[in-house]
Structure 1
Amino acid sequence: MSLELVWNNEQDQFEITEELIALLESILQKAGEAEGVEDGEVDLTFVDDEAIHELNREYRGIDRPTDVLSFAMHEVTNDELEIIYELDEGEEQGNVPDVLGDIIISVPRAKLQSEEYGHSLERELGFLFVHGFLHLLGYDHQDEASEAEMMGKQEAVLAEVGLTR
């Protein structure tokens, strides 16, 4: 088994190309290698600003759109229900994927940010994806030191796939 990207497109403003998905799969592999994560599944959903606004309000209590949200599957708080995976008839326990979590990216917000920062949409989506992946692994950026650590890890992965500024 290896790291697997499962993706879904729920927005219609921007085309999600096979090349972009291949790039994000490469980012996932590089980030996984850097973090020592060899197996698992990451679910990625591309949405519009309205959808991410609703999720941000519902799950974070913040009433505005954002660029990326991450929901780790191995992080159960008092407010969350633990998800139990039920096997289908004939399915073996060893075939159950270790779902690391969900990453939701607002493509219109990523496009706007790419224009503001003066780089490609692909670079911005790659940045948001690796940022979300690190959140799935428990990284955060609540203070300067943790933000600097996350930024360094993100930039190292993006450099490996040629997405420099």
Structure 2
Amino acid sequence: MSLQLEWSNEQSEYEVSEALIGQLRQLLDAAGEAEGVTDGEVALTFVDDEEIHRLNKQFRNIDRPTDVLSFAMRESAEDEPEITYEIEEGDESELQFDEMLGDIIISVPRAIAQSEDYGHSVEREIGFLFVHGFLHLLGYDHQTEEDEAEMIGKQEAVLQRIGLTR
């Protein structure tokens, strides 16, 4: 098993190339390895500002567009009942569970604007937002300056590892 990336494109401002998706898969593997996460699925959707605005308002009650949203599927395992499975001797089949880690939604117009503001490529900005979203799926947050510094450090380390520098 491994980390899987499923993606969809619901915007028309920027062409999502196979090269970009390949980079995002590399980022997912690198971020997963850094965090000790080797299995699971991430669903990524590229949207426009109108759609991310709608989602931000609906799910976060914030009435404006944002650059990235994450919706984690993982909850604390402490509250979950333990499930065990018995496999009969000689059964050659494997049990495989693709755990859905969650959804990441990226506003492509926001990513384009931010890449211009920061003076780097759109691909780097999308990569940064993707890793940011992935860390949110794992439970990281940036409510304090310390937490934000930790997240940014982790994001930059992953981006550096695959060569997406400023």
Give distance in 2, aligned partners of 1:135 and 1:66. Answer: 15
Distance 1:75 1:64 in 2: 27
Unpaired runs of at least 5, structure 1: 77-91
Identity within the alignment, %: 69
Alignment of 1:51-130 (within 5 A): 51-75=51-75, 94-130=95-131
Return the alpha-carbon distance in structure 1 between the equivalents of residues 41 and 74 of structure 2.
Answer: 12
Shift of 1:13: 1.2
Runs of 4+ in 1 over 6 A off after TM superposition: none
User: What is aligned with 1:153?
Assistant: 154
- Identify the residue that residue 143 of structure 1 maps to in structure 2: 144
Q: Report what 1:87 is aligned to.
A: none
Q: Which segment is superposed worse, 94-103 or 123-132?
A: 94-103
Unmatched runs of 5 consecutive residues or more in structure 2: 77-92
Alignment of 1:25 onto 2:25: yes
Of 94-103 and 136-145, the range deviating more from structure 2: 94-103
- Tell me which residue corresponds to 1:84: none
Q: Kindly provide the CA deviation profile for residues 93-129 of structure 1, in whole angstroms up to 9, marking residues without a partner as x.
A: 9333100000000001100000011000000000000
Provide the TM-score with structure 1 as the length reference.
Answer: 0.88
Q: Tell me how far apart the structure 2 counterparts of residues 55 and 70 of structure 1 sit (CA, whole Å).
A: 11
Give per-residue Cα distances to partners, 1:113-165, cap 9 Å, x unaligned. Answer: 00011000000000000000000000000001101100100000000011111
Structure 2 residue identity aligned to 1:133: F
Larger CA Rg, structure 1 vs 2: 2
AA at the equivalent of 1:34: A
How far residue 12 of structure 1 moved from its aligned partner, in angstroms, is 1.0
TM-score, structure 2 normalization = 0.88
